[in-house]
């Protein structure tokens, strides 16, 4: 019978790694959240009817994602800002 050369990672190492990963994810969310409230960033994200293209894709199956996409499209088209 062959012995495995893989070493087991001690449990004492796993917990700090999980905490470090969780902290890194929290920092990323905080950075993106602070950027989302920036007026210059919001100005840059505005849809320009003259320059931007809205591409919507539906496939032949009626999946949940298609229903959500259709609902989002109807919501966008109902907004007065997107009327032509």
pTM of the entire structure?
A: 0.40
Q: How many residues would you count in the chain?
A: 84
Could you identify the residue written with the tokens 């088209």?
77
Residue ranges of the domains in the chain?
A: 12-46, 50-84
pLDDT tens for the 84 residues of the chain, in order: 556 667 776 666 666 777 888 888 988 887 776 666 677 766 666 777 788 888 888 777 777 788 888 888 888 888 877 776
83 Cβ neighbours under 8 A, 6+ residues apart: 77
Distance CA 72, CA 56 (A): 10
Strands (E), 1-84: none
């Amino acid at each position: 019978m062959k012995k495995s050369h893989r070493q087991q990672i001690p449990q004492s190492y796993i917990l700090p790694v999980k905490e470090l990963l969780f902290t890194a994810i929290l920092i990323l969310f905080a950075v993106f959240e602070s950027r989302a409230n920036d007026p210059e960033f919001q100005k840059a994200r505005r849809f320009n009817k003259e320059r931007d293209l809205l591409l919507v894709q539906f496939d032949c199956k009626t999946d949940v994602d298609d229903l959500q996409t259709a609902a989002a499209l109807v919501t966008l088209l109902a907004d007065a800002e997107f009327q032509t």
